[in-house]
Structure 1
Amino acid sequence: MKRILKMILKLFFALAMIAVVLGIWKREELARLNAVLTLFNEDRIVQNFSHMDAAFLTRDVPRGDGPVSELPMGARMTLPENTHSWIEDRNVTALLVLKNGEIRYEDYFLGTDPTDKRISWSVAKSFLSALLGVLHHDGTIPDLDVPVTQYVPALTGTAYDGATIRNVLNMASGVQFDEDYLAFFSDINKMGREVALGGSLDDFSAGLEVKEFTPGETWQYVSIDTHIIGMVIRGATGRDIPDLLSEKIIAPLGFESTPYYVTDGDGTSFVLGGLNMPTRDYARFGQLLVNGGVWNGTQIVPAEWIKASTAATAPTAPGEIGYGFQWWVPVGATPGEFMARGVYGQYIYIDTARDVVIATNAADRKFRQDGVPELNIAIFRALATSLD
């Protein structure tokens, strides 16, 4: 009996030592996994959304050596009725309104401040769209109707075989992918854990094998399509996204601070939602779109790309919100009204006709409740029209 007990104790000790060694060896990966699992906790979400670099691997997007393009201050606007209660209810952390390129309202909430580099979530998709537009215009990626495998041969034989660049831009690749953020075993959350544990998003994408729809026929919002756009850009240029985005868009815009991407274990940028920057820089990007892609007299993003990418060309259901090339088009949109949108309340809302840009960040854990997206758009429209 004593011998058996001694063997059990030795086994227990050995297992404990293995656990300790693994804990030390994989300390960073385990810390990132814990960050993913607690990222949206009520007591941590606001802090986490302004400090993603404290928990994840990151890569800077150089802002360049040029001066900051200042956003001039205009007369401070009076917020429309219900806006203050909306700010509180939606856990808004930042709200900035531009009219004719001037700041008409700017404020920060829940203990955050103007220097916080806030997570974009899917607002990052619209930045990547603009980058692809530049590369399409200069002939690097001349044809949107070629298969993605032309630039990414590793996707041959996967669920993306047969999908075109236009298909993935429109979120109509047909790939089977579960985007449920609230389901632990959904594909989107598996992907998040892949990033946390230092895995490869390229390998994760190439591991998707099931098509749910014929490419181009059905709109289905799947964030992994945006990673494929990133793979196409890298395949076409032989360069990584941060350097390209810096050269083509960020540096010419004169951002006030250096943005950064969350990355996977290979150092590949999380282009579908990992861009981080202050709210003012989100607003600068929005103003670039209002300006038809021109900044300080220089054409940065082609005007024809802005028009094409913000048109509701995706095969969405009739009467529902529209989608272009990684941009959203609200129901009942007026010409030139579109937006970038990310989970938990991140938006760049643009009303070109009124020359209004609204950049807002939030930590809204109820962002998917019925009526919330529609309420957000109603607030943006009220803000825009109040400046007429």
Structure 2
Amino acid sequence: MREGGKKLRHLGLAAVVVCATSGFALAITGAQAQSNEMSLGQRNLACGSPTALDDGWVTASPESTGLDGARLCGIAARLKEMEADVHAVVIVRHGKLVFEQYFAGYDEPWGENGGRHEFDATTKHDLRSASKSLVSLLVGIAIDRKLIANADEPVVKFYPEFADVKSPGWDQITLRHLLTMSSGMQWDENRGWDDPKNDEPHLGNESDPIRYVLSKPVARPPDALWTYNGGSTNLLGSILERVSGKPLDAFARETLFQPLGITDFEWKNYPENKKIAPAAGLRLRPRDAAKIGQLVLDHGAWNGKQIVSADWIAQSVKPRFQAIGYFSGLFFYGQQWWLGRSIVDGSEVKWIAAMGSGGQRIFIVPERDLVVMTTSGLYFRTRQGDGALDMLTNVILPSVRDKN
């Protein structure tokens, strides 16, 4: 899940720069002491009041949606303690944007050298492998529009010109197997970036990455075992281009981003072959990425308009495999979506997530009508998503006052 970034060399860099203005200091004090005379509105302004932008979000205070705003004011301090290098935190409750906070820190934007970057509500950020979850939505849209019959279509149907390279067993692999990363093809991303046996770099370095993926031998029957596989997502993105007759970013703009009111995005190319990188190349503003979470939470609808069918969302977030080998096997996998759970006040709270290298996360918590989006810069670091999960489990979910 390293997605083509350069190896992080400066592991000792400070993780989070917390705003040190007097207003922020007062916000922390206000959260800790009842005697603080600052008004609730002032406290929210200092520690997470959403920026007013004409981008389709209705904004509100945390309290108006049943969240403990004072507790949310502790997010920055908690992230600093975790050395999480989080760049953005966006919280949506009951369909309203109620909290956003941004921090400067180390980042490695796609195709650029690593360094210190500033972030705010208008700054795009790499999503890395969270891009895969959006590809899943686009496949559902293509099926809704009859561009693809269904997810059980054989992959080779879309690539007749590669009949000479496909290995035995490829005839049994379907789009659904690609979506669930259970194709059975021989694939290994769990190696050092410079290891020639790591398949992921080949997606960017091969002149024809689709030929590379289709030429991989089938090591086991489809639907038997889950193996993390960016090559599967690349095939899905390529198939979307073939059936739509448009570049992937153009298809995404027309069918997904424009209906969501997302106008500022990039879907980056691989540096060597200049092909669009479906598995890792998307860049969005965090508050726009949170719209993706809200879309899934609302069963494929945005502002009352159905963008992708509710049935496709249900299929996508159904647990299908234990994700052995990633995140200690604690998570499950659906159709390019992760599924997990947190323990809050002794009770299990289930969530859905898009996840990307460096700590990019879109958490969707249906039981709490909640979406949390975080970006981070911990590429090539162990436990890179711990800060986001800790924040969700130990700060945000406990801040929910009403449970529906």
Match of 1:234 in 2: 241
Match of 1:339 in 2: 353
Shift of 1:346: 0.3
Match of 1:204 in 2: 212
Residues 362-386 of structure 1 show CA distances to partners (whole Å, capped at 9, x for unaligned) of 01146434xx656643431331341
1:170 aligns with 2:183: no
Match of 1:129 in 2: 136
Contact 1:152–1:235 (CA under 8 A) maintained in structure 2:
no
Q: 2:376 pairs with 359, 362, 370, which one?
A: 362
1:187 aligns with 2:194: no
Q: Name stretches of at least 5 consecutive residues in structure 2 with no aligned partner.
A: 15-53, 64-68, 105-117
AA aligned opposite 2:77: H
Match of 1:213 in 2: 220
Residues 147-194 of structure 1 show CA distances to partners (whole Å, capped at 9, x for unaligned) of 100112244342545311111100011122221363412434533651
1:40 aligns with 2:8: yes
Return closer, same or farther for 1:322/1:154 CA change in 2, 3 Å cut-off: farther
Return closer, same or farther for 1:300/1:37 CA change in 2, 3 Å cut-off: closer
Match of 1:386 in 2: 399
Return closer, same or farther for 1:267/1:192 CA change in 2, 3 Å cut-off: closer
Shift of 1:297: 1.9
Q: 1:95 pairs with 69, 80, 89, which one?
A: 89
AA aligned opposite 2:389: I
Q: Distance in 1 between matches of 2:123 and 2:11?
A: 18
Shift of 1:233: 1.8
Contact 2:234–2:278 (CA under 8 A) maintained in structure 1:
yes
1:79 aligns with 2:47: no
Return closer, same or farther for 1:314/1:234 CA change in 2, 3 Å cut-off: farther
- 1:253 counterpart SS class: coil
Return closer, same or farther for 1:313/1:254 CA change in 2, 3 Å cut-off: same
Residues 28-49 of structure 1 show CA distances to partners (whole Å, capped at 9, x for unaligned) of xxxxxxxx67463338999xxx
Contact 1:38–1:44 (CA under 8 A) maintained in structure 2:
no
Measured on the aligned residues, the alpha-carbon RMSD in Å equals 3.1
Shift of 1:145: 1.7
Return closer, same or farther for 1:190/1:38 CA change in 2, 3 Å cut-off: closer
Q: What are the residue-to-residue correspondences of 1:1-388 with 2, within 5 Å?
A: 38=6, 40-42=8-10, 68-75=55-62, 77=69, 78-79=71-72, 84-87=77-80, 88-110=82-104, 111-156=118-163, 157-159=165-167, 160-180=170-190, 182-185=192-195, 186-191=197-202, 194=205, 199-206=207-214, 208-255=215-262, 257-263=264-270, 267-314=274-321, 316=323, 320-331=330-341, 337-365=351-379, 367-369=381-383, 373=385, 376-382=388-394, 383-388=396-401
Contact 2:342–2:393 (CA under 8 A) maintained in structure 1:
no
Q: Distance in 1 between matches of 2:244 and 2:13?
A: 36
Aligned length: 327
Relative to the length of structure 1, the TM-score reads 0.75
Return closer, same or farther for 1:103/1:313 CA change in 2, 3 Å cut-off: same
Q: Which has the larger radius of gyration?
A: 1
Q: Distance in 2 between matches of 1:37 and 1:133?
A: 29
Return closer, same or farther for 1:72/1:82 CA change in 2, 3 Å cut-off: closer
Shift of 1:323: 0.4
- 1:286 counterpart SS class: helix
Return closer, same or farther for 1:227/1:211 CA change in 2, 3 Å cut-off: same
Return closer, same or farther for 1:387/1:209 CA change in 2, 3 Å cut-off: same
- 1:353 counterpart SS class: helix
Q: Distance in 2 between matches of 1:167 and 1:45?
A: 40
Contact 2:267–2:277 (CA under 8 A) maintained in structure 1:
no
Q: Name stretches of at least 5 consecutive residues in structure 1 with no aligned partner.
A: 1-35, 47-66
Return closer, same or farther for 1:147/1:161 CA change in 2, 3 Å cut-off: same
Relative to the length of structure 2, the TM-score reads 0.72
Return closer, same or farther for 1:261/1:37 CA change in 2, 3 Å cut-off: closer
Residues 189-208 of structure 1 show CA distances to partners (whole Å, capped at 9, x for unaligned) of 5336517xxx33324324x4
